[in-house]
Structure 1
Amino acid sequence: MDPHIKAMLEEQAARTAGQQMPPLDMIPPEMIRANYQTERKAVNQGAPKDVATKDITVEGAAGPIPARLYTPAGAPAVTPGLVYFHGGGFVIGDLETHDGHCRRLAAFAGVRVLAVDYRLAPEHPFPASHDDALAATKWVFDHAAEIGFDPAHVAVGGCSAGGNLAASVSIDLKDDPKRRLAFQLLLYPGIWPDEETQSRKDLDGPLLTKEVLAWFEKHLGAHGHPQIARVALDKAKDLAGLPPALIVTAGYDPLKDEGRDYARRLEAAGVKVSHVEYSNMVHDFYILGDVSPAVVDAAKETAATLKAALA
């Protein structure tokens, strides 16, 4: 494991040693959201400051939702663009938790990034998040001139649950002739397979534990829903014709096998796909920007692939 991240985890363990932690089900989601935001903002203070930000609203499935537009320094009036969905199991996460990560993507790739603050479960159970992601992406195409996006070079991306949303949007728009996605950026995506992968069996953390995964699933409320294929992407049968993809996985992540398997399925369907695994990294590593220099290096490598794909 990356030594800087290992030291962070050891420090966290030492700080909570001996404390009797209540089960997650006993903690209100809003409290966990607040703690997550505080923790992630604290380790992204070194994110690029020369990226202009503007908070706007975009159209969600049930009305306007917040979004944040990132414009890199010196950007021309129109650039390729990335529509980005944050992680957090569809239950936690927001524009603030992933602000540093989006700043790095915009600065290193030289493209505009629009981060979408989709509705969260359990207040808004499945498929609210997926419906918002699709509606927001359609809005971007229809209002590209207003936000400086080149509609011929639009990508969707996300990490963890956000990677699931990006992949789902790619499938939803596959046959839309007016809204042709150029690329999908899937960072340790949650594919939510029906059958438990080996990495989900073997790994209980760090960060993403079996208890946390079960808590997310319970609050999302997707199982048994007729649209379950939008979350459990192994049920999506026709993947041919999807935009090219970069799938990134982490060696110390319970989701690594499903990300790898989805890359193989895309490739088998004729989709141009690259799979990169950072074997010494953990889940959520892209938003640990100040913890390890390797995080920034990975962000630069990922942004370089994004930039080339949208050129």
Structure 2
Amino acid sequence: MPLHPQARAMIEAYSPDPDLDYRHLDAAQLRASFAIPEPAAPPRADVLIETLRAPGPAGPVALRLYRPIAAPGDASALPITVYLHGGGFVLGSPDTTDGLCRSLAAWARTLVVSVDYRLAPEAPFPAGLDDAYATLCWVARHAGEFGGDGERIAIAGDSSGGNFAAALAQRARSDGPGLRHQLLLYPVLDAACAHPSYREFAEGYFLSAPMMQWYWRQYLGGADPADPRVSPLRAADLRGLPPATVFSAEYDVLRDEAEAYAQALIAAGVPVNSRRWDGQIHGFLLQQGRVDAADTALAQAAAALRAAFA
């Protein structure tokens, strides 16, 4: 379908400076010139916020815990969703996805643990991924200390955070906590940057092909792009992974790799709920209050988590 008018308004408001030269750009320049979209909707008041720390491979990892306000008399342990924010491995923090995490916590009745992992290029692969995995394992072991159910855990993330979520689901299959679900929101899944959507939406749709390729250069730090920890789509065997919800956006360079991963999971016998959000662009889920589809999509994501935890 045509580009939605609300998505067009988002492009006009938030697209990076078109004069940025990604051949010579450094991370400080990008961070100074590019603002990740913020939601227009006010923060939800039905979710409590706490701070936690988990031991990580390079020191403590800061965590933000979202706790839905309990109904009177309800003291039962809540399921847990470990959330990884996006930002091209270079930008972002739990602040970036604050509204999204509040909505998931309230609508899915889940604790959400948002991870403030290390960023590239200062900490390239596998630093942020290792922080996220250490957090996932710590959450599973210590869930009871903050009112969580360590037997009901999901992993979730948007964009580069979706990359981490997919990679952690693969790793946890062999040596980590059992996961009930993986929620992948327009995820980054293949460092090759070669799918047709990279050519079709190379420029003019908020996340450009040159920008995404630049992000990969910052993150890889000499790592093998075909390593499935880097490119989860390249994994040889996807059997036995947790059920997945995979959302893509129609006008997004990442669209085809997200949809290819959904199909690969299905072929491996993994239950998958896959949806392309027509007329939308990368990052639309951060636009609650401006983009109607953001609320609709997050409600569907929350419903998938609730079903997984039932």
Corresponding residue SS for 2:239: coil
2:181 to 179, 183, 186: 183
Amino acid at match of 2:11: L
- Judged with a 3 Å threshold, the aligned counterparts in structure 2 of structure 1 residues 8 and 267 are, in CA distance, closer, same or farther, namely closer
Q: Distance in 2 between matches of 1:242 and 1:8?
A: 35
Equivalent positions of 1:217-256 (< 5 A) are 217-222=216-221, 224-225=223-224, 228-256=227-255
Name 2:63's counterpart in structure 1.
Answer: 67
Note closer, same or farther for the CA distance 1:39–1:186 as it changes in structure 2 (3 Å cut): closer
Match of 2:45 in 1: 49
What are the equivalent positions in structure 2 for 1:38-187 lying under 5 Å apart? 39-41=36-38, 43-74=39-70, 76-77=74-75, 78-176=77-175, 179-187=177-185
Partners of 1:193 and 1:265 lie apart in 2 by 17
Partners of 2:309 and 2:298 lie apart in 1 by: 16
**SS class of match (2:37):** helix
State the alpha-carbon separation in 1 of the partners of residues 109 and 222 from structure 2. 39
In the superposition, relative to structure 1, how do residues 30 and 228 fare at CA in structure 2: closer, same or farther (>3 Å)? same
Offset of residue 60 of structure 1: 2.1
Contact kept in structure 1, 2:226 and 2:234, CA below 8 Å: no
Q: Judging changes above 3 Å, is the alpha-carbon distance between structure 1 residues 151 and 2 closer, same or farther for their aligned structure 2 residues? A: same
Tell me which residue corresponds to 2:297: 298
Amino acid at match of 1:9: I
* Aligned-pair CA distance for 1:5: 2.2
CA distance 1:288–1:145, shift in 2 (3 Å): same
**AA in 2 matched with 1:158:** G
> SS of the residue aligned with 1:153?
strand
* Contact 2:192/2:225, CA 8 A, preserved across alignment: no
5+ unaligned residues in a row in structure 2: which ranges?
Answer: none
Q: CA deviation at 1:45?
A: 3.9
Partner SS, residue 212 of structure 2: helix
Structure 1 contact 158–165 (Cα < 8 Å) conserved = yes
What residue number does 1:284 align with? Answer: 283
Tell me if 1:2 matches 2:13: no
Displacement of 1:32 = 3.6
Taking the aligned partners of 1:256 and 1:226, their CA distance within structure 2 comes to: 19
- Partner Cα distance (2:276, 2:298) in 1: 13
Provide Cα deviations, 1:146-204, integer angstroms capped at 9, x if missing partner.
2222111100000111111011111111023x721111001111111536111112112
Which residue matches 2:21?
A: 23
Distance 1:202 1:175, change over 3 A: same
The 1-side partners of 2:232 and 2:18 are apart by 37
Counterpart Cα distance in 2 of 1:192 and 1:20: 25
- For 1:22 and 1:168, the matched residues in 2 are separated by 31
Distance 1:11 1:150, change over 3 A: closer
CA contact (8 A) 1:127 1:222 kept: no
> Residues of 2 paired with 1:268 and 1:129: CA distance?
29
Residues 184 and 245, structure 1, Cα contact 8 Å, conserved in 2: yes
Structure 1: where are the runs of 5+ without partners?
none
Could you say what secondary structure the match of 1:136 adopts?
helix
Offset at 1:228? 2.4
**Runs of 4+ displaced beyond 4 Å:** 24-28
SS in 1 for 2:293: helix
Q: Report how many aligned residue pairs link the two structures.
A: 304
2:79 touches 2:309 (CA, 8 Å); kept in 1?
A: yes
CA RMSD of aligned residues (A): 2.2
Cα drift, residue 234 of structure 1? 2.7
Provide the C-alpha distance between the structure 2 equivalents of 1:7 and 1:143, rounded to a whole number of angstroms. 43
Aligned to 1:263: 262
Deviation at 1:293, TM superposition (A): 2.2
Distance 2:24 2:149 in 1: 46
Q: Per-residue displacement from partner, 1:228-256 (whole Å, max 9, x unpaired)?
A: 22011232112111111111111011111
